Structure 1
Amino acid sequence: MKIESLNKKIKLCQKCPRLSTYIRDVAKNKVKRFKDEPYYGKPLSGFGDIKAKLLIVGLAPAAHGGNRTGRMFTGDSSGDWLVKVMHKTGFASIPTSQTSDDGLTLNNAYITAAVRCAPPQNKPTKEEMQNCFSFLEIELHILSNVTTILCLGKIAYDATCKLLDAKPGKFGHNQLFQYNSIKVITSYHPSKQNTQTGRLLWKDWHAVFKRAKKLAS
């Protein structure tokens, strides 16, 4: 399967009634700060360089970030942190990610997620995770140059271990695991809960991407 065919299949997916209803409701009943903006309100595909050696796996689109803009890690604070550090380490063409047509391109990196619809409270169910899993499997098959996977958060790490048929190790920030030919780095997710509480400091976040850059070079 080609990436375009997979992305079309993802966009049309309605396997999870709870998530399908939720993302449509969020798109219809907008928050005040985005009341005049159109919302995408559909499942999201990954994006980036299909020849990439680095695959970045997140949890799921944000309700008022990717679910609004139509691109993962775009239009919210997590996207700001991610793309700023990717620009500093040479993976991204610009340091911001605000809209799906802002000209952002990725070099040697591809961004995806364990779940393709924004879940309520950022908590997908096990069944919803399973429903999305085949998309991740097909993506990795298409992205045949991947040597390194960076997991943003424990849910992303668990999904990656399942993808590689590997037993998860102890999750922590900037941990490195080797599963057959694939190197896996784990990081705290750049959510507000982590960045605004000091759990994830910029220097530690930057260190993860410097490591990823070295491994995926």
Structure 2
Amino acid sequence: MDPLAELDASVAGCAACPRLVEWREEVARVKRAAFADWTYWARPVPGFGPADASLLVIGLAPAAHGGNRTGRMFTGDRSGDVLYRALYELGLASSPLSVSIDDGLELRGLRVTSPVHCAPPENKPTPWERDTCRPWLVREMELLAPRLRSAVILGAFGWQAALPAFTAAGWRVPKPRPKFAHGARVTLERADPSEAAPGAKGPGPVTLYGCFHVSQRNTFTGRLTPDMLKDVLRAAAGEAHIPPYA
């Protein structure tokens, strides 16, 4: 099995966090009326995108009735509607719609993931849950490292969770750690061999871009507009050398 596919399968079988296991399964039993005929995924949601991605988009965690229902990151909820439409308009996704795991959607040059792979109550993972899930993100970064050149991090939680993962995966994060802000940009250089995680393979520089999360709270209030989102994604795609869409 391809290493990334093997990782995704392992993620989907994780049961390390009792509170998250109980919550994701409870949501699947109770369901939302609009999705009463759905069989919920109700497991950890792995990353989505090709193994040769040079751009990584990092969110927070799957939505209870989005990824936790469909089994794919940012799929089946309004946050995903905003994200994938922006990616489509930039030529980075094959469709502006992301409704189910078998809808044929493909990503071009990028992968979408999160630091927590289970839907948490009130969209708020605990620090322990975040840290328990970190090895999955670290391993994903290690597998992408030879080609990875940029990352868009959605929201302060994702930013704070991703920086230690980048360190563990073989990059040097400046001290003091860069603070999150929309439009923040920082380039991480390869760490010295003594600082890299065991087995981490020589990553090159990677540029991180901060972006407000595509949550309904941000998009409905105008704190994050489609143009703001596309500006960040466009810059990150350019840094990742993803050719312009023809």
- TM-score, L = length of structure 2: 0.86
Q: What does residue 152 of structure 1 align with?
A: 154
1:59 and 2:52 matched: no
Shifted more, 88-97 versus 59-68: the winner is 88-97
Q: Write out per-residue CA displacement over residues 177-207 of structure 1, whole angstroms, 9 at most, x where no aligned residue.
A: 1111110001000000100111111221111
1:173 and 2:188 matched: no
Q: What does residue 187 of structure 1 align with?
A: 211
The letter for the 2-side match of 1:174 is G
How much identity, in percent, do the aligned residues show? 39
Higher Cα radius of gyration: 2
Aligned mates of 2:67, 2:166 — CA distance in 1? 26
Moved over 6 A (4+): none
Q: Write out per-residue CA displacement over residues 67-113 of structure 1, whole angstroms, 9 at most, x where no aligned residue.
A: 00010100000100111011111110111111111100011000110
Q: Secondary structure at the match of 1:164?
A: helix
Confirm or deny: 8 A CA contact 2:150 2:237 kept in the other structure.
Answer: no
Confirm or deny: 8 A CA contact 1:89 1:213 kept in the other structure.
Answer: no
Aligned mates of 1:134, 1:24 — CA distance in 2? 23
Q: CA RMSD in A?
A: 1.1
Aligned length: 217
Confirm or deny: 8 A CA contact 2:219 2:225 kept in the other structure.
Answer: yes
The gaps in structure 2 that reach 5 residues or longer are 168-172, 190-204, 242-246
Aligned mates of 2:130, 2:94 — CA distance in 1? 31
Q: Secondary structure at the match of 1:129?
A: helix
The gaps in structure 1 that reach 5 residues or longer are none
- TM-score, L = length of structure 1: 0.97
Counterpart mapping for 1:106-145 below 5 A: 106-144=107-145, 145=147
Q: What does residue 32 of structure 2 align with?
A: 31
